[in-house]
Amino acid sequence: MLVFEHPQYLILLITIPIVIFAHSLSIYKSKRRAILFSNYEAMKRVSSKHKLPKNISWIVFKILICVLFTFAIAGTTLVYETTVSDADYILALDASGSMLSADVEPTRFDAAKQAEINFINTLTKTGTKSRVSLLTFAGSTFIHTHLTYDTGPLPDVVKSLNISTVPGTAIGETIVNGANILYDSDKVKVLYIITDGQSNVGVDVDYAIKYAQRNSLVVNTIGIGTVRDPLVEEDRLSSTLDESTLKKIASETGGSYYAVTSSKQLSDIFRTSIGHTQGIYELDLTHYILLLILALFVLEWVLINTLFKMIP
């Protein structure tokens, strides 16, 4: 799919009909002038077999250059889905009180932390050129580490994470913050969200999805625990896993949704993703388009001075 950084410049494509009209008018005037020569019919018989191809080739050159020039100044980017070995990751963990539920042993929160630690350790051992950032979220998002290649110290950071006292589950805000953190990344951008609840504060999820799409952010959502779980004894809190929203987030950003009810399932998700990450890749075509325009100008000059050379 082609994406344009400055789509307003696509209006320049209206120059194509103008080019066609100008070329047709030029041909018409040339024929009118040629009638002044007494030997016009003889010249016509000699040149007619080359005339149509010449005219067609000339106008195709002009149209192609107009289109390419417009695409160049509009900032054309090719966006496609691919499987890559390296990506930049954000691990976002729900730190609301309901994550203390023990239906996933030892607790949802501790199981998720251990899965993140295993993922980071595997990245470190494999030597992939990936960066990692750590977030937690409850009623707002907390950035614990920015993107870093130095993944060695990150397991200790994960171990130090605690449940938040800020009420709520800000999934939309987490997606927007994740996209902002990965904004300048030239790799596939992947956000993992582990949660047992539903977005109920902060940024609207639909807006967050569109924001992720504009920034080519792949969001993988992981629903941990049962859809409806018992009260958490420590805080007397309950949560409802909103699977439909988590599936929507993943589906519309090119990611996947996972439902997990055990520590092993959670670890397996992260383990199998390393080296086989499905993501959205962006290729800026502007420089290639400019080189192609230059090549067309050179080819046009060569043709004008050889095959299409005018007889004086």
pLDDT, one tens digit per residue, over 4-39 is 878 888 888 887 888 777 767 776 666 666 555 555
Higher pLDDT, 273 or 136: 136
- Please state the rounded mean pLDDT for residues 1-5: 78
**How many percent of the chain have pLDDT more than 70?**
78
Q: Which of 196, 180, 256, 190 is nearest to 221 (CA)?
A: 256
Average pLDDT score over residue span 297-304? 80
pLDDT value at 112 more than 80: yes
- The DSSP secondary structure of 130-197, one letter per residue, reads --EEEEEESSSEEEEEEEES--TTHHHHHHT----SS-S--HHHHHHHHHHHTTT--SEEEEEEEESS
Looking at residues 83-87, what average pLDDT do you find?
Answer: 67
User: For residues 253 and 221, what is the distance between their CA atoms, to the nearest angstrom?
Assistant: 10
Q: What is the mean pLDDT of residues 42-59?
A: 55
Distance CA 22, CA 131 (A): 54
The mean per-residue pLDDT over the stretch 291-300 comes to 86
Tokens of 68: 């390419």
Kindly report the average pLDDT of the chain as a whole number. Answer: 81
- Compute the average pLDDT of residues 116-137: 89
- Selected residue with higher pLDDT from 15 and 120: 120
Q: Tokens in use for 192? A: 């993992």
Which pair of tokens denotes residue 187?
Answer: 């790799």
**Confidence at residue 231, expressed as pLDDT on a 0 to 100 scale:** 47
Query: Which burial class, exposed, middle or buried, applies to 12 when counting CB atoms under 10 A from its CB (0-12, 13-18, 19+)?
Result: middle
Contact 187, 144 (CB under 8 A): no
CATH class of the 82-279 domain in this structure: alpha beta
pLDDT for the residue 160: 94
Separation CA 116–CA 169 (nearest Å): 20
Question: Where exactly are the structural domains of the chain?
Answer: 2-75+285-304, 82-279
Q: What is the rounded CA–CA span in Å between residue 176 and residue 95?
A: 18
Predicted confidence at residue 245, as pLDDT, reads 92
For residue range 178-237, list pLDDT tens digits in order: 999 998 888 889 999 999 888 888 899 999 999 999 888 999 999 998 755 444 444 444
Q: Which residue has the higher pLDDT, 296 or 239?
A: 296
pTM attached to this predicted model = 0.66
DSSP at 9: G
Report strand pairing: 87-94 vs 132-137: parallel
Q: What pLDDT score was predicted for residue 52?
A: 45
Max avg pLDDT among 60-74, 79-93, 129-143? 129-143
Q: Are strands 132-137 and 277-284 parallel, antiparallel or unpaired?
A: unpaired
Answer whether residue 276 shows pLDDT above 60: no
